A and B are shown apart, each in its own frame.
Chain A
Amino acid sequence: MTQKNVLEDITVCDFSWVGAGPMATKYLADFGARVIKVESTTHLDIGRMSVPFKDNIIDPDRSAFFLHSNTSKLSVTLNIRHPKGVDIAKKIIKKSDIVMESFTPGVITKLGFGYDELKKIKPDIIMASSSIYGQTGPKKNFSGFGNAGAAISGHYLMTGWPDRDPVTPGIAYADVVQPLFTVAALLSALDYRNKTGKGQYIDTTQVETMLQFISPAVLDYFTNGRQQTRMGNRSSYASPHGVFPCKGDDRWCAIAVFTEEEWKNLCKTMKEPQWTGDKKFIDLPSRKKNETELERLIGQWTINYELSELITLLQEAGVPSGPVQDASDLVDKDGQLQARQSFVKLSHPVIGECNHPVPPVKLSKSPADVKTSPCLGEHNEYVFTQFLGISDEEYVELLNEGIFE
């Protein structure tokens, strides 16, 4: 591509690890930023040791989990617990626009890279800290992983069936949500620096960002005193609203009816069996009241169809609907994702050719330019000698001293 990338003159010194931090810097890297991931060979990023591994061989360069959250970055290994390692990290920071970290609050300052310290090295530096619960306040020492954000914000307790324990997807959802806010914060900080010449310190948390995604329920509590709780697949403003069984093993179709027109269309598609004319289902409040029965009746109709056949029928009738898919559908069969190149096949030095996830945002003039993810310390030589200008002799000396570990 001859086109220039929007962030190509931006350098990021990235101390972040595991999920939420790396997914934020991945976004910047995919849009052209030079993201230098500062890693440790003795204190490996947990992401590098997360399944799945290529050929099931546990190895820091073989984790596809890591690959998916670290595309387009450079990796160096550096012992930042050694004074010489600290000096080198500071050299990287001096040439950086952004410093990113996601340690337990306080750790980065103890390591010698607190914001006040960084400002001395680079007065207009933009620094972002990503944590579960925040850098200030009485619970700032809280440490945790992805699902803590969903739990503390109330999201976890609101997901699942009303008569069962709450559930959460088999991912850490806050690791999906928080990075978006971190990226938005960093990009607006770059714009602010363009205008004012000033850097800044950014503090994003999983709890506070998750609350932004459930704020109608929060306002409901503050206004009406209502504690919204889990309601399965139902919605307060649509009915039917759920997934309904189709032919085959564990096949389901999502159907959501918001308007009376959509309800009529659904009834027509079902060929208007007698029950659809019943007063019990005449409008949204009635359908909400008799929802269990409604769901049972619709399920008795949907079970006669293959999933794809049912989707076609419902789409022709203008009823909002979609199939419950699994990962094999996404990777192998989804023509929409393929047409829009949502995954691109790229070659990784150890893993070989495989899918790399692309940001879901298409910019007509400055599109993402995704590259593969780095092996551990793959760019040591480039970053330390070429980018920082450390002489070959000194590089070897530092190498022998174990500074690049």
Chain B
Amino acid sequence: MLSNYKVLDLTDEKGSLCGKLLGDLGAEIIKVEKPGGDPARRIGPFVNDINDPEKSLHWFAFNCNKKGITLDIEKPEGREIFKKLSSRADIIIESLEPGYMDKLGIGYLDLSSHNPKLIMTSITPFGQTGHLRDRKISDIGILAMSGLMSITGDPDRPPVRMCLDQTYCLGSAHGTIGTLLAVLWLTKNGEGQHVDVSIYEAAVRGNYWEPARWEFLSELIKRAGNRFPRAAAKGQQLWQCKDGYVTFLIPGGTSGAKMMNSFTKWMEETDSAGALKQINWDNLHLSKVSQEELDVWEKLIAAFLVRFTMDELEQAAIKRGIPMARLNKLSDVAADEQLIARKYWEKINTADSKETISYPAFPFLSSEENIRVRSRAPLIGEHNEEIYKNELGFTDEVISSLKKRGII
């Protein structure tokens, strides 16, 4: 959908998903790495566990659908080349320290004075302003600050983080949105702009419930394992079954009543509903249920669910309209017939073409465009020749001289 846009991507692991998503949408993404490669290539896991910058699966995952060139923007000559590239680009995305590009003379103000239509998106831990903008921090620190860790984990253990680097993904996805908003503004008003994304604020937005709870009830929720602090009584949302776990939370509202009627009926078929039979779900307001009451109900549900396998529970839930889901292992995910039917996996060749790797194929489905992963992540400097020679018109001699001097 974005096939007419050209993007220079200077991000590291903090922002690489942003360009990947723009690439999925069809934009041409040119990843600009330091000579020797982006340090994010050192992040594992690696193919066959071989620690090699060309074999990082983390890099593969967030840099597919991109081309790759190398350029040392710290060297004056490299900067001049970068200016040339940026004058032909529609969008630049970067996750360097705030002020770093300005210091090199290639900040938004410098570049936009030559190319007023330029959109620059900066994805940094705290954004371009504020007293914390230079704080050294990583994903776990940002997640810690966002308040999300204080509500995750068991009460008798330290706060725990969500798996992998979720805050970087959140910041990157907001970066994609900010860039697209700027694209729409450009179409309308003919001017580019600077998009400033704070990964911290993105994570704070992820903590969408607790700030309001504090403001209105002066209540702070402590981490409570798998008890969901929705109302006065905290509901269980993780249930053991024969071969794993399912997630389910007694639902509220009119639609929840319908689901619970269906659930109770299912239990009654094997005479397991007990006290649940007496509940009039249609007139129940969950926020008025006491913890003691809820505990009694949940005990009955636990004893019922543990008799089934995940497959059995999934089938019953779909058939009966009950909001229950299995906790999949990655092998379950890979074998999931729903994802397979939706053609969610796309096999992409590795660089040596000896193997293929299955990738998540699309961020969403569109009736108009086949939005899919099309190409693997680039090798270090893989497209130097294409970009420098064919696009900028550099001769072979110039390119080899730039290489020799470590500029590309």
Contacts and interface: CB of A to CB of B under 8 A. Distances in A.
Given A167-B153, A340-B129, A363-B181, A208 B331 contact: no
Interface string A48-60: 0111111010100
A169 B170 contact: no
A214 B193 contact: no
Contacts of A187: 177, 180-181, 183-184
A44 B216 contact: no
A256 interface: yes
Interface string B3-32: 010000000000001000100010000000
B228 A170 contact: yes
Choose among A23, A166, A241 the residue with the greatest number of B CB atoms under 10 Å from its CB.
A166
A51 to B, nearest CB: 6
Q: Which secondary structure dominates where chain A touches chain B?
A: mixed
A227 B360 contact: no
A234 B329 CA distance: 19
A361 B207 contact: no
B245 A165 contact: yes
A173 interface: yes
B255 A217 contact: no
Contacts of A205: 364
A108 interface: no
B251 interface: yes
A221 to B, nearest CB: 4
28 contacts: A6-B181, A53-B216, A64-B212, A143-B259, A158-B163, A170-B221, A180-B176, A188-B1, A192-B369, A204-B363, A212-B363, A213-B169, A216-B45, A216-B58, A217-B164, A224-B48, A226-B45, A227-B329, A230-B163, A236-B44, A242-B140, A243-B140, A254-B149, A322-B142, A326-B210, A330-B211, A331-B215, A363-B185
A218 B330 contact: yes
A49 B252 contact: yes
Interface string B189-229: 10101111111111011111111111111011111111111
Interface in A173-211: 173, 175-177, 180-185, 187-192, 194-195, 198, 200-205, 207-209, 211
B365 interface: yes
A170 B182 CA distance: 34
A176 to B, nearest CB: 4
B328 interface: yes
Contacts of A68: 208-209, 211-212
A200 B141 CA distance: 40
The binding surface of chain B is classed by DSSP as: mixed
B79 interface: no
A209 to B, nearest CB: 6
Nearest to B165: A235
Given A68-B212, A184-B25, A243-B159, A366 B185 contact: yes
Contacts of B21: 184, 212
Contacts of B127: 340, 362
A144 interface: yes
Contacts of B141: 254-256, 320-322
Interface stretch (A72-80, A351-359, A393-401): A351-359
B164 to A, nearest CB: 6
B177 A343 contact: no
B83 interface: no
Contacts of B176: 180, 184
A171 B206 CA distance: 8
Contacts of B197: 360-362
Interface in A282-335: 315, 318-331, 335
Given A191-B184, A360-B205, 4 more contacts: A64-B212, A137-B341, A151-B326, A222-B358
Given A46-B255, A224-B48, A203 B2 contact: no
Nearest to B173: A180
B68 interface: no
Interface stretch (A81-89, A128-136, A270-278, A376-384): A128-136
Interface string B123-157: 00011111110011111111111111111111001
Interface in A220-269: 220-224, 226-228, 230-233, 235-238, 241-243, 245, 250, 252-256, 258
A174 B364 CA distance: 14
A386 B346 CA distance: 49
Given A167-B153, A252-B159, A365-B185, A64 B136 contact: no
B390 interface: no
Contact of B154 (A164, A228, A321): A164
Contact of B367 (A143, A201, A215, A354): A201
B263 to A, nearest CB: 12
B61 interface: yes
Instruction: Please provide the 7 A-B residue pairs with the shortest distance between their CB atoms, ordered closest to farther.
Output: A322-B141, A360-B201, A148-B325, A327-B210, A187-B180, A64-B212, A361-B178
B178 A363 contact: yes
A69 B208 contact: yes
B162 interface: yes
A151 B328 contact: yes
Contacts of A54: 216
Contacts of A204: 363-365
A393 to B, nearest CB: 33
Contacts, number: 511
Interface residues of A, number: 157
Given A65-B209, A185-B363, A208-B360, A51 B160 contact: no
A337 B211 CA distance: 12
B401 interface: no
Contacts of B321: 104, 141, 143
A236 B368 CA distance: 40
Given A52-B212, A58-B285, A165-B226, A221 B154 contact: no
A215 B61 contact: yes
B217 A152 contact: no
Given A141-B318, A144-B325, A181 B206 contact: no
Contacts of A167: 152-154, 160, 223, 225-226, 238
A191 B180 CA distance: 8
A322 B145 contact: yes
Contacts of B341: 136-138
Nearest to A160: B160
Nearest to A195: B4
B214 A208 contact: no
A49 B174 CA distance: 28
Contacts of B322: 143
A175 to B, nearest CB: 8
B36 interface: no
Contacts of B159: 243, 252, 324
B315 to A, nearest CB: 10
Which of A27, A56, A58, A207 has the largest number of chain B CB atoms within 10 A? A207
A208 B362 contact: yes
Contacts of B229: 170
Given A138-B337, A258-B138, A325-B145, A7 B228 contact: no
A327 B145 CA distance: 10
B231 interface: yes
A327 B204 CA distance: 9
Contacts of A319: 136
Among B129, B227, B338, chain A packs the most CB atoms within 10 A around the CB of: B338
A362 B126 contact: no
